[in-house]
């Protein structure tokens, strides 16, 4: 099978984007791992698949596969790349695009300046919806590890996130704590682990250890989850600049019951074909 693809990135969080609308695509776990492999394949954090929608009120179906081959519910940086991709490949002429994901419907808006604004939906805080094992919904939870107990917030942005406050992201133990949080038994579907440093009420620094991918240069849903956690802890204002290793995003969240709005860039690197 020979596949046309586009290599894209959102602040360094990189993707292999595949058009499943105009070409037949059959992706097994092994094929996804091959595409994502940086030595033997194309190389990416996630593979994004564009498909026709299952409902008439939606423009596209958006599927996300991590580098380990597992399908996940949502990806904010990928969503911005998805919007630019369907426009650039002339799959749509719309600048406001409704997309269905495994984590729920989202709306993508491409500005004249090329930035992409994404309505990421209302964050889910109920433990059952995250999913997270807890007796009741809370702003903060104790997460017990073998040698320490962490103070985290648990948020779903269509995919699960644990947000941990740190003094400095540069020295945060992302490499050691990330895998322990990701696979903690209280998160039955595993979890993305965010390490957040509050710089000021309207700015944070963030590193994210992503489920199935490891630490990435940027995580859009992680940025949204971090701002939600910071707002709930009464540490942040409504609009926050989120600095990630690959660049910055603007995240706006008025509060409970409202959608999170993410604005940031999406960049096309190259187009190609691969035989798998």
Handedness of CA 21, 25, 28, 32 (dihedral sign): negative
Cα separation, 156 vs 167, in Å, equals 24
Mean pLDDT of 225-243: 98
Report the b/e string of 112-128 with b at 16+ CB within 10 A. eeeebbbbbbbbbbebe
219 flagged as catalytic: yes
- Per annotation, catalytic residue among 44, 75, 81, 224: 75
Q: Which of 44, 81, 219, 224 is catalytic?
A: 219
Q: Is 44 a catalytic residue?
A: no
Summarize pLDDT for 193-202 with one digit per residue, the tens.
999 999 999 9
DSSP letter for each residue of 242-265? EEETTEEEEEE--STTS--EEEE-
Beta partners for 273? 4
d(CA 82, CA 272): 17
- pLDDT (tens digit, 9 = 90+) per residue, 143-190? 999 999 999 999 999 999 999 999 999 999 999 999 999 999 999 999
Convert the pLDDT of each residue in 14-64 to its tens digit.
999 999 999 999 999 999 999 999 999 999 999 999 999 999 999 999 999
Digit-coded pLDDT (tens) for 245-272 = 999 999 999 999 999 999 999 999 999 9
CA distance linking residue 210 with residue 217, whole number of Å: 10
Strands (E), 36-94: 46-51, 60-66, 71-72
């Amino acid at each position: 099978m020979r596949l046309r693809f586009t290599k894209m990135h959102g602040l360094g969080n990189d993707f292999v984007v595949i058009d499943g609308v105009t070409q037949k695509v059959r992706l097994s776990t092994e094929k996804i791992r091959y595409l994502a492999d940086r030595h033997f394949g194309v190389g990416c954090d996630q593979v994004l698949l564009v498909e026709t929608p299952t409902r008439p009120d939606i423009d596209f179906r958006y599927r996300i596969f991590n580098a380990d081959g597992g399908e996940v519910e949502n990806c904010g940086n990928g969503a911005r790349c998805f919007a630019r991709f369907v426009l650039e490949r002339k799959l749509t002429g719309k600048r406001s695009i409704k997309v269905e994901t495994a984590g729920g419907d989202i709306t993508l808006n491409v500005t004249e300046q090329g930035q992409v604004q994404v309505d990421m939906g209302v964050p889910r805080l109920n433990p059952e919806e995250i999913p997270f094992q807890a007796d009741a919904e809370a702003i903060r939870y104790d997460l017990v590890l073998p040698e320490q107990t962490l103070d985290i917030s648990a948020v779903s942005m269509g995919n699960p996130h644990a947000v941990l406050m740190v003094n400095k992201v540069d020295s945060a133990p992302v490499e050691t704590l990330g895998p322990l949080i990701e696979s903690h038994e209280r998160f039955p579907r595993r979890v993305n682990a965010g390490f957040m440093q509050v710089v000021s009420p309207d700015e944070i620094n963030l590193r994210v250890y992503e489920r199935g991918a490891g630490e990435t240069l940027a995580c859009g849903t992680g940025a949204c989850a971090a701002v939600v956690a910071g707002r709930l802890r009464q540490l942040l204002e409504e609009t926050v600049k989120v600095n990630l290793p690959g660049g910055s995003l603007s995240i706006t969240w008025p509060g409970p019951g409202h959608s999170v709005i993410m604005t940031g860039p999406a960049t096309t690197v190259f187009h190609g074909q691969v035989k798998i």
